[in-house]
Structure 1
Amino acid sequence: MIRELLKGTIDLVHIYHRFLQWPLVFRILIIALFLILTFGAAAHMVEPRTFPTIFDGVWWAIITASTVGYGDLYPSSTEGRVIGILLILAGAGFLSTYFITLASTAVTTQNAFLEGKATYSGKDHIIIIGWNERSREIIDQLISLDRQCFVILIDDTLKENPYKNHHVHFIKGKAYNDKVLKQANIHHASKGIITSDQNQNEEHADMNSILTLLAMKGMQPNLYCVVEILTKEQVANASRAGADEIIQSNKQTSYVVMNSIISQGMSKTILKLLNHLRGNNLKLISTSPEWCGKSFQELSAFLLEKNIILLGIKKGEFTGVNPPLGTVIHEDDELLVISN
């Protein structure tokens, strides 16, 4: 008998400790509901004529605890009024506390999202590291092209989310920190884009990008990662770290500048071309078996009928743009095309 009582006591203690681990708003709500149900049932038992059913008693308890006071049902006996007094002193306090806590929780949650402290729980999102003009352009274009796209922006310098729409979830912190990457739900992300930190010199910025790449690939090896590298010496290291694509922004910028020197106004032309590519994709596609043996000219005419523009051919490590028209397409070749 004593053992059973001790076991029952221990079980109650365990239940109580589990109850204490629940969120505060749920604990207060459960206590308030328990008091309302208890006092409602007590009112029915004390004054069955005034409160014919338990539901009538619970209705009166809710109206009383919420201080609405319709006056449609009220106790007339001394016992019933004592129950009403106790309900007002206990239940009304818990119910008011519940609504105050609920409002406070909503404000706290909203601030957590704004300040980058909230964890993202969605899937198939794109993680973008670093806040700068490049990442701003990337986010704006992603949202304009696909309204269903969700972006996670990770940055340590921002004080709050620069976007007010729900498509961009901001997380404040250093991207090579495991805790920050877990907040971004990296295990269910589809792509990762690492932009270079403009607040550091080129060498330190590249080292920071590669460290971030290692952290992301370490936690999610299958994540498709695009990383921006500024110095050519670090391109090999970025490749060893597992980068799926490496963007050498300085090299591309110098290429545009050189073309502008050789042909004035070329930079504006290139920017216009890139702007017109919005809604279309510049990409490499595999060669279909039925295309093998065709010349560049024949395949170009064939693809043009399908609204696909053939620009060049990638043979191994060599990519040729606008090759000789008689160049034969082989099975292992990849085609550089523009398509929607």
Structure 2
Amino acid sequence: MATYLYQTFSRWPLLPRIFFMAVFSIILFGFVIHLVEPKTFPSTFDGIWWAIITASTVGYGDYTPHTTAGRLVGILLILVGASFLSSYFATLATTAINTQNTLKQGKSLYIGKKQTLIIGWNERSRDVINQLIQLKNEAQIVLIDDSLTENPFPGMHVHFIKGKPFYDHVLTKANAKSAELLLVTADQNTPEYQADMNTILTLIAVKGINPEVHSIVEILTAEHVLNAERAGADEIIQTNKQTSYVMMNSILAHGMASSLLIMLNQLKGSSLKFISVDRDWMDRPFNEISRILSEQRVMLLGYKRGENSIVNPPPDDKIHLNDQLLVISD
């Protein structure tokens, strides 16, 4: 029985073991001093109080042993109890530092839910995280990257996981099965074809764990767009194509690039977004709804019907209830 208890106790984590031994020694010495000097220490609680004050080296002096036997008990308490308490606080401090370092270095498990999972560290993901933090103060963000050595956003709502995002143990650390949104950015330090394959592999890995997560992936080559759709991407950002469109518009209309950036920047006071159709607008022409929205300082650009987006449609186009209206709004 004693062997079993010892083996069980030895399996405890270090911090609880030291804490238990410190508490046990204080209670034991408090009981012993009460037996040795019952007049000086009228109750066991008085003895325990004296043991705590003595072992912690505070020494109020309200209780002091007067006999040789009592002083010997005090000496043993200082040698045994104080060492356990010192070890406990030292271990506690070491554990706190190790926990902080583990969190900073991306080795700690994320236990929250409904987080935004961002894959890859680059200027694009940095800007996205900065804007999410400013727009949503309570946004929970998990960043997965293999190139970083520590969390680039310490002290904020960003939990860093170091590792390759298509490995199960890394996604488990990130609690990917509870993620609400997934953003996979392309690694532009690798060839575009390889970067797209890694993006699709990551998408498959996350979707395998969490099929319901809304996924946004960045694809660099046109050949891999269809593969990303097959892998279950909800939205695909074709970076190279979109950049070339911006360049072409700037060639045809100088200054267009800066105007587009302002329109797309959520922090600049206006944003491009979809809104739902009000029931009162059902089957009414596009130009009529445009006038209604303009009175609310909202500019109507077009609408999305199913998978098709129509920009600047004919004025008499009828709007359906299930359409999504594309607007610029504050």
Q: Map 1:50-199 onto structure 2 (within 5 A).
A: 50-199=40-189
Cα drift, residue 21 of structure 1: 3.5
- C-alpha separation in 1, matches of 2:170 and 2:58: 46
Q: Map 1:283-298 onto structure 2 (within 5 A).
A: 283-298=273-288
Cα drift, residue 91 of structure 1: 0.9
* Residue 257, structure 1, aligned to residue 241, structure 2: no
Cα drift, residue 295 of structure 1: 0.5
Letter in 1 for 2:87: T
Partner of residue 32, structure 1: 22
CA RMSD of aligned residues (A): 1.9
Cα drift, residue 113 of structure 1: 1.3
Check whether the contact 2:143–2:158 (CA below 8 A) recurs between aligned residues: yes
Cα drift, residue 86 of structure 1: 2.0
Letter in 1 for 2:30: G
Q: Deviations over 1:275-325 (max 9, x none)?
A: 366465533344343322200011122233445432102234332212121
- C-alpha separation in 1, matches of 2:47 and 2:191: 73
Q: Deviations over 1:142-185 (max 9, x none)?
A: 00111111211111001111122231111111111111111111
What 5-or-longer segments of structure 1 have no aligned partner? 1-8
Q: Tell me the SS of whatever aligns to 1:337.
A: strand
Check whether the contact 1:116–1:161 (CA below 8 A) recurs between aligned residues: yes
Change (3 A) 1:278 1:184: farther
* Residue 272, structure 1, aligned to residue 262, structure 2: yes
Q: Map 1:300-311 onto structure 2 (within 5 A).
A: 300-311=290-301
What 5-or-longer segments of structure 2 have no aligned partner? none
Cα drift, residue 256 of structure 1: 0.3
Change (3 A) 1:16 1:124: farther
Cα drift, residue 13 of structure 1: 5.0
TM-score normalised to the size of structure 2? 0.94
Letter in 2 for 1:48: P
Q: Tell me the SS of whatever aligns to 1:45.
A: helix
Partner of residue 5, structure 1: none
More displaced stretch, 159-168 vs 215-224:
159-168
- C-alpha separation in 1, matches of 2:87 and 2:314: 79
Aligned equivalent of 2:312, options 322, 328, 338: 322
* Residue 228, structure 1, aligned to residue 224, structure 2: no
Change (3 A) 1:205 1:56: same
Change (3 A) 1:18 1:297: farther
- C-alpha separation in 2, matches of 1:317 and 1:98: 62
- C-alpha separation in 2, matches of 1:22 and 1:235: 52
Cα drift, residue 102 of structure 1: 0.7
- C-alpha separation in 1, matches of 2:155 and 2:229: 35
Q: Tell me the SS of whatever aligns to 1:264.
A: coil
- C-alpha separation in 2, matches of 1:67 and 1:24: 23
Change (3 A) 1:17 1:228: farther
- C-alpha separation in 2, matches of 1:279 and 1:119: 37
Partner of residue 4, structure 1: none
Check whether the contact 1:145–1:279 (CA below 8 A) recurs between aligned residues: no
Q: Deviations over 1:54-105 (max 9, x none)?
A: 1210111011111222322121223322322221221111111001101111
Change (3 A) 1:198 1:114: same
Cα drift, residue 138 of structure 1: 0.2
- C-alpha separation in 1, matches of 2:297 and 2:43: 74
Check whether the contact 1:173–1:180 (CA below 8 A) recurs between aligned residues: yes
Q: Tell me the SS of whatever aligns to 1:74.
A: coil
More displaced stretch, 320-329 vs 274-283:
274-283
Cα drift, residue 15 of structure 1: 4.8
More displaced stretch, 191-200 vs 69-78:
69-78
